[in-house]
Amino acid sequence: MSRLAVIWDPATGRIMKTVGGSEQVIRQNMPPGMRRLHVPAPVNEALFRIERVGRPRIIPRPAMPVTLPSVVTIGEPISLDVPAGAEVRVECDHLGLADADGVELVFESLGLFLVEVELWPYVTLLARIEVR
């Protein structure tokens, strides 16, 4: 009988992957130390996590508590009030981790840039910033 399960980390509640198939296939896809939770439908690991208090259940990951500007001026520093420890990337290039003061960016060329802010357990923030 085919089933669907999420494989998750009991230390963090992070869903590692969704696996479908027999119970044997699901067990074979479980890394050591991980747990499984049977689910009725596929789960998007980027948007959900496992609530670890009481009986494990799937809940939405919270939104990143920051808003990025949509337009900035070339050469002007902008301060992003992102949570400490958040990883910031522009066009997939790792810029570093935010400290308690957030992160400061300066764009030196015109265009449209994809900015990513990632920190567990928040949903990764993706935003396009236009530099004029």
Residues 48-95: pLDDT tens digits?
A: 898 888 888 888 999 998 889 999 999 999 888 889 999 999 987 777
Structure tokens at 33: 């130390």
3-state secondary structure of 102: strand
CA distance 30 to 26: 7
CA distance 81 to 16: 28
Residues 8-24: pLDDT tens digits?
A: 999 999 999 888 888 89
Q: The whole model's pTM is what?
A: 0.74
Output the pLDDT for position 33.
94
Output the pLDDT for position 10.
92
Measure the N-to-C terminal CA separation of the chain; round to a whole number of Å. 57
95, 92, 97, 72: which is closest to 82 by C-alpha?
97
Average pLDDT, the chain: 88
Residue 2 clears pLDDT 80, i.e. is over it:
no
Domains in the chain: boundaries: 3-60, 71-131
